[in-house]
Amino acid sequence: MHEARLCLSLLDLAERHLERAGGERILAVRVEVGALSGVVPEALASAFPICAEATRARGAELRIERSAGRDLVLRDLEVC
């Protein structure tokens, strides 16, 4: 189950960018998941709310965009 582990790095990265932007809360996270990235979008989606519980992304929306390649990229955040 490496999606949970990836989810934690995703949230870690997101929180660092939230801080840098001087925001308080993460409302949404947009991630690109490539078909060849080895990541199952459904598994990422179900791990996300659980992993986010103890972070400033609690309750945030995870928007997954599928692409064809091997990319796994945190595109942007919606913060306030």
Partner 1 sequence: MCGTCGCGEPGGPASPIRAHAHEPSPAPGHEARRVEVETSLLAANEANARALRERLAGLGIEAVGLLGAPGCGKTSLLERTLEILAATDPDAPARVAVVEGDCATDHDARRIATRGARVAQIETGALCHLDAHLVGHALEKLDLDGVERVFVENVGNLVCPAPFSCGESRRALLVSTPEGDDKPEKYPAMVAAADCLVVTKTDLLPHLDFDVERCVERARRVRPGLPALAVSARSGAGMDEWLAWLAAGGRR
Interface contacts to partner 1, rule CB under 8 A? 1-2, 5-6, 9-10, 13-14, 17-18, 21, 23-25, 27-28, 31, 35-39, 41-42, 45-46, 48-49, 58-66, 70-80
The three-class DSSP label of residue 18 is helix
Q: Which is nearer to Zn ion, 2 or 75 (CB)?
A: 2
Q: Where does this chain touch Zn ion (CB under 5 A) — which range of 1-9, 17-25, 29-37, 59-67?
A: 1-9
Whole-number CA gyration radius for the chain? 12
Report the C-alpha gap between 10 and 71 in whole angstroms.
Answer: 14
